[in-house]
Homo-oligomer: A and B are copies of this chain.
Amino acid sequence: MTPPVNTSGSTKERILAAAEVLFAQRGFDGASLRQLTSSAGVNLAAVNYHFGSKEKLVEQVFRRRLDALNARRLTALAKIAGVENTTLEDVLAAYIRPALDLSHDDSGALFMRVLARAFAEHDDTLRQFLSENYGHVMRQFTTEFARLLPQLSKPELYWRIDLVTGALTHAMSGFGMIQRKSDVSEHTHREQTAQHLIGFAVAGLSHP
Contacts and interface: CB of A to CB of B under 8 A. Distances in A.
Given A29-B27, A162-B178, A178-B159, A207 B196 contact: no
Contact of A175 (B120, B160, B197): B120
A18 to B, nearest CB: 18
Interface string A155-176: 0101110111111111101011
Interface of A: 25, 27, 29-30, 113, 116-117, 119-122, 156, 158-160, 162-171, 173, 175-178, 196-197, 199-204, 206-207
Contacts of A27: 29, 121
Number of identical monomers bound together in the oligomeric complex: 2
21 contacts: A27-B121, A117-B121, A119-B120, A120-B120, A120-B173, A122-B175, A158-B178, A162-B171, A162-B178, A163-B170, A163-B176, A163-B197, A163-B200, A166-B166, A166-B167, A166-B169, A166-B171, A200-B204, A203-B204, A203-B207, A207-B207
Contacts of A177: 158, 162
A35 to B, nearest CB: 14
Contacts of A30: 29
Contact of A159 (B159, B166, B196): B196
A156 B120 CA distance: 27
A117 B122 CA distance: 9
Nearest to A24: B122
Given A120-B116, A199-B207, A207-B199, A170 B178 contact: no
Contacts of A171: 162-163, 166
A162 B166 CA distance: 11
Closest 4 A/B residue pairs (Cβ): A166-B170, A120-B120, A203-B207, A162-B176
